[in-house]
Structure 1
Amino acid sequence: MQSEELSGSVGAALQELRARAEARRHLVTQAVADKSPAEVQRLVQELQVHQIELEMQYEELLLAQAEAEAVRAQYVDLYEFAPVGYCTLDAHGLIGQLNLSAARLLGAVRQRLMHRRFLLFVAPASREAFLGFLAQILASEQRQTCELAMLHDDGTPFFAQLEGVAVPATAAQPPQCRLAIIDSTARHEAIQALAASEARFRQLFEQSSDASLLVQHSLVIDCNPAALHLLGASLKAQVVGHRPWEQVVPAEDPALPVAEQFAGAVAEARRLGSERCQFALRCLSGERLWVECVMTPMTVGGQELLYMVWRDVTAVEEQKRQLRTEKEFSESLLDNSVDGIMAFDQHGRFLAWNRVLEQHTGRRAAELLGQDIFAAFPQWRGQPQEQAIRQVLKGKRVTRYNMPFHSQPGHYESYLVPLLGPDNELKGGLVLVRDVTERVRLAEETTRLKLRQQQEVLSTILTTQEEERKRIAEALHNGVGQLLYAAKLNLENRAAPEATLRATALSLLDDAIRATRTISFELTPGILEDFGLKIALEELCKRIPKQNLRFHLNLVGLEKPRPRPIEIAIYRVVQELLNNIIRHARASEVFIHVIHEDQHLHISVEDNGVGISPDPATPLQGIGLAGIRNRIDLLGGELTIESRLGRGTIITIELTALIVR
């Protein structure tokens, strides 16, 4: 524009100079013959002045021409080599003029582009938009702008921003459009990349399995479906617009309010770039969750946002709580165990040392854990302790009885067990040290008691045998002996008739034979061997005098054969109980039950006599019940006595695991 204005001013100056020269031309053509000298001189002076003016104007014209050439060169430089493409289009979109940048953008030399339709370089999808853009330019005096997809001359696509302005029509030229073309491919690609990135972020944001929230000015401005699910919300309006710490459960004794804690976490996130924290969350449904939160500050469009990711770690917290509970239980178990417990790894370093070992050794767990066993207890080297530990580290179980422990008096047992991992790899060993001093003492005391009981049993047996011998001797002396002596005296009496003597002697001999059979039956009842336990017990009851004592006998399941020692023991027990009732109970009625079912035998003898002491701990008087108890103990049975003074006695015997032949 400046060049055009300058060219116009130079042309106007030339026109004016020509007009003035024409005006003075008559001065030159005038005849001087009829002029006076004064007029000639004045005419010469005018011509000289006019010549000087023409020379001055010519110099001005040369200066203006040089300035016009400089301006034109500057205009050409600015137009042709501008970084933006310029072109001029007529109303039909034909290219009338364009600079080198426009030619480079369109991908052809200027000569090939002149008078071609600009629409050919617009992508087909954008041609309708270009036609509308061109119509707007021609119809408006304002600058118009648009961005179109375009094509190079070889067909490769690019994007360009077009800015156009209309040139009004004149008499010399129709209306035109001046167009600026700016290559916006890089910007368009950047915008597309940004849009794709935003789309990916939005997709990740929406489809993330973790709850994601965007916070601005301490208010939630957006959240994904996972956040709604985590908070138990059905609509975004229940979350968006609220403060993110509204659902946080305060600690029981918080040092700061929840809002201040949140502000501190945000400040740390700004300082470090990210911050991780954990808190309890109460959902809208009332459910309580543990949530791990990661805060990341970001700047979008010049505005600061806080990106928060919440992850449900309730299961992890529950596992941690369970692990803590199990650890506390294990520590409590170790500390409250009556055994000394220590553990070591595969390298022989202490892993556990409980309170019992601290009390026995005077060494604290704090000073031993992590130390080498033999560095802590060098006195174990070359001793049974070292040998046992070496065997455990080879995967063997070891038990040491009565192994001395740290120079402590008493008796100790050590159980050494290898600790194996999930794949049966050796992880170390576990040692249980048990103080069995009291157990050994009790075992020794039990042995002494058993010896004493055996001595008492032997003494009872011997006493019983002596009593039986004495009773048999008395029975033979008072019964069979007297009868035989009477028979002898009767035979020696010669004064009596022979028939009378014979009859009397035979009667006495019959009584002696019966007495002998009775004694023999009491000693060894042959009926038990010949006919079994049931018939023997029935025969036993028949032989007892029944003048003042009524018997009720209930026998069940005794047809089954049993080992002979058991049947003899049962027979003798019932016999002794009946003898005790007859001698001491002063009873009028007796109930006897002997029942054999499966491998269990039940004996119950009940009377209505004077009774005995009901306390089982009271020592039994006499050798009868003591002998019965000894028999039952030898058979592995149980004897129970229930008695009330003046109301009778019930003696119950239970025998189990009887072997039937």
Structure 2
Amino acid sequence: MKKKRRVSQPVEDLRKRAENCVRQASNDFQNFSDGDSLELIQELRTHQIELEIQNEELCRTQAELERSRQKYFDLFDFAPVGYFTFDGQGLISEVNLTGCKLLAAKRRDLLSTRFNHFVAPDYQDLFYFHCRNALKSETKQTCALKLIKRDGSPFYAQLESVAVGSGDDRLKQLRTALTDITERKQAEEVLQREQEELGKIVKNRTAELETINEELHKKVVECRLTEAALRESEHKYSTLVEDALIGVYIIKDGKIEFANDKLASIYGYAKNELIGMESVKLVHPQDRAQVKEMREKRLKGEKVPTEYEIRGVKKNGDPIWVMRSFSLINFQESPAISGIVSDMTERKKAEEALRESGKEMRILSNQLLSAEEKERKRIAGEMHDGIGQALS
């Protein structure tokens, strides 16, 4: 038994239309011969099969198109952003479920509704110019708006619109993607506030730094003036020390760290020969023990004479007498001794000469007194003899 072919509804409709046409043309078929009729029937069956095959292909294609349409419809409806289609008057003609959720409204309530009903009053002009620019331009237009949901709660959204169609703007449509940017807007506002606060802090800090800078500038000027004064004072002191009529020295750890020209002259050395020399070498060998003892006591803080006379030794070995005075100082972050030296040799010689002269004067004085006594005795004797003779 031949299997009955499954016939779709469109084919059945075509078959009925064909049967009607056959009945209307039955009179014409009566004139056909049997051979012609069989040939015609064969052609009709062949054509019928071709039509059925084409119908099956069309049905399969239609089913695929329906699946594809449903797929893209789902993608459109459940996209993470809201999709809207506006006509030239701003009426909503299409909206996906996400767009409905963003506006907290049902799809049937949004269709044929003006979108600007959901735009906050302060943003109406911005939305108007956004739509106008998008309709007149072939490029995508973007703006950020504050929208009001159906329940009255506000949120911020970004609109990206592009025009479709051609000709009159009233016949064009706008395809718009709407994204909730409330969190981003809030973050921007927080960032703006923080930037403003930071700006205030920077401004205040800048003012403080300017004040500090002015104070530092004043201190720098004062330091420069002080430094100039110190240099001048140092120059004067250096000149005074170098040109002094007495020897000046600094001793640290028993060695000479500084000596002026006069000290070198007193001891018969070149100044550079004294630097680094053991200071006791300038002291007479018989007095060195005394000087070392006094120095140790001085560094320990014990009380010792700050001025004394002592014998020294020149480079050529000649002994000299000097008057030394000193004070404790801090030199290069260590304790040291600063002192002055006066050559007392000539004075000592003068004192010695004076002592010798005094001895001679005392001898002469004694001789004169003795002569005077003898003369007095002689005169007294003569007077006694004269008076005795006169009385006798």
Q: Give the TM-score range, shorter chain.
A: 0.5 to 0.7
Report what 2:350 is aligned to. Answer: 445
TM-score, scaled relative to structure 2:
0.57
Residue 210 (structure 2) pairs with residue 209 (structure 1)? yes
| CA gap 1:200/1:429 in 2 versus in 1, 3 angstroms | same
Specify the SS of the correspondent of 1:428: strand
Residue 383 (structure 2) pairs with residue 390 (structure 1)? no
Q: 1:59 aligns with which of 57, 60, 64?
A: 57
Task: Please report how far the alpha carbon of residue 432 of structure 1 lies from its aligned counterpart in structure 2 after TM superposition.
Answer: 1.9
What does 1:43-442 align with in structure 2 at a 5 Å threshold? 44-46=42-44, 48-63=46-61, 65-67=63-65, 69-70=67-68, 72-74=70-72, 76-77=74-75, 80-82=78-80, 84-87=81-84, 97-98=95-96, 100=98, 103=101, 115=110, 127-137=120-130, 141-142=135-136, 145-148=142-145, 160-164=157-161, 178-181=176-179, 183=181, 184-185=184-185, 186=187, 190=191, 197=198, 201=202, 208-209=209-210, 313-337=220-244, 338-344=246-252, 348=253, 352-356=257-261, 364=272, 368=276, 383-396=289-302, 398-399=304-305, 401-402=309-310, 404=312, 409-419=319-329, 427-432=334-339, 434=341, 436=342, 438-442=343-347
CA contact (8 A) 1:334 1:355 kept: yes
CA contact (8 A) 1:402 1:411 kept: yes
CA contact (8 A) 1:151 1:157 kept: yes
**Quick one: which amino acid aligns to residue 351 of structure 2?**
T
Paired residues, number: 348
Report what 2:7 is aligned to. Answer: none
CA distance in 2 between partners of 1:112 and 1:188 (Å): 32
| CA gap 1:71/1:362 in 2 versus in 1, 3 angstroms | farther
CA shift digits 1:413-450 (9 cap, x unpaired): 444422269xxxx951223252x5x4243134135336
Task: Please report how far the alpha carbon of residue 341 of structure 1 lies from its aligned counterpart in structure 2 after TM superposition.
Answer: 0.8
Task: Please report how far the alpha carbon of residue 329 of structure 1 lies from its aligned counterpart in structure 2 after TM superposition.
Answer: 4.6
Identity in percent: 13
CA shift digits 1:301-325 (9 cap, x unpaired): xxxxxxxxx9983333333333444
Task: Please report how far the alpha carbon of residue 75 of structure 1 lies from its aligned counterpart in structure 2 after TM superposition.
Answer: 5.8
| CA gap 1:431/1:61 in 2 versus in 1, 3 angstroms | same
CA contact (8 A) 2:323 2:344 kept: no
**Quick one: which amino acid aligns to residue 339 of structure 2?**
L
Task: Please report how far the alpha carbon of residue 139 of structure 1 lies from its aligned counterpart in structure 2 after TM superposition.
Answer: 5.6
CA distance in 2 between partners of 1:21 and 1:350 (Å): 136
CA shift digits 1:488-510 (9 cap, x unpaired): 79xx9xxxxxxxxxxxxxxxxxx
Report what 1:238 is aligned to. Answer: none
CA contact (8 A) 1:167 1:176 kept: yes
CA distance in 2 between partners of 1:368 and 1:28 (Å): 143
Q: 1:26 aligns with which of 12, 15, 20?
A: 20
**Quick one: which amino acid aligns to residue 354 of structure 2?**
L
CA distance in 2 between partners of 1:314 and 1:18 (Å): 110
CA contact (8 A) 1:163 1:179 kept: yes
| CA gap 1:23/1:120 in 2 versus in 1, 3 angstroms | closer
CA shift digits 1:437-471 (9 cap, x unpaired): x4243134135336636855885798699889989
| CA gap 1:145/1:129 in 2 versus in 1, 3 angstroms | farther
**Quick one: which amino acid aligns to residue 131 of structure 1?**
Q
Task: Please report how far the alpha carbon of residue 181 of structure 1 lies from its aligned counterpart in structure 2 after TM superposition.
Answer: 2.6
**Quick one: which amino acid aligns to residue 161 of structure 1?**
Q
**Quick one: which amino acid aligns to residue 158 of structure 2?**
Q
Task: Please report how far the alpha carbon of residue 66 of structure 1 lies from its aligned counterpart in structure 2 after TM superposition.
Answer: 1.6
The runs of 5 or more residues in structure 2 that have no matched partner are 1-9, 166-170
CA distance in 2 between partners of 1:76 and 1:373 (Å): 106
Specify the SS of the correspondent of 2:249: strand
Between Structure 1 and Structure 2, which shows a larger proportion of helix residues?
Answer: 2
CA distance in 2 between partners of 1:119 and 1:313 (Å): 66
Task: Please report how far the alpha carbon of residue 146 of structure 1 lies from its aligned counterpart in structure 2 after TM superposition.
Answer: 3.5
| CA gap 1:113/1:41 in 2 versus in 1, 3 angstroms | closer
C-alpha RMSD of the superposition: 6.1
| CA gap 1:364/1:20 in 2 versus in 1, 3 angstroms | farther
Task: Please report how far the alpha carbon of residue 394 of structure 1 lies from its aligned counterpart in structure 2 after TM superposition.
Answer: 2.2
| CA gap 1:40/1:113 in 2 versus in 1, 3 angstroms | closer
Specify the SS of the correspondent of 2:320: coil
CA distance in 2 between partners of 1:25 and 1:318 (Å): 124
CA shift digits 1:153-191 (9 cap, x unpaired): 9999875433456789xxxx9x98845235243456556
Specify the SS of the correspondent of 2:300: coil
CA distance in 2 between partners of 1:349 and 1:150 (Å): 92
* Higher relative contact order, structure no. (Cα contacts within 8 Å, ≥ 6 residues apart): 2
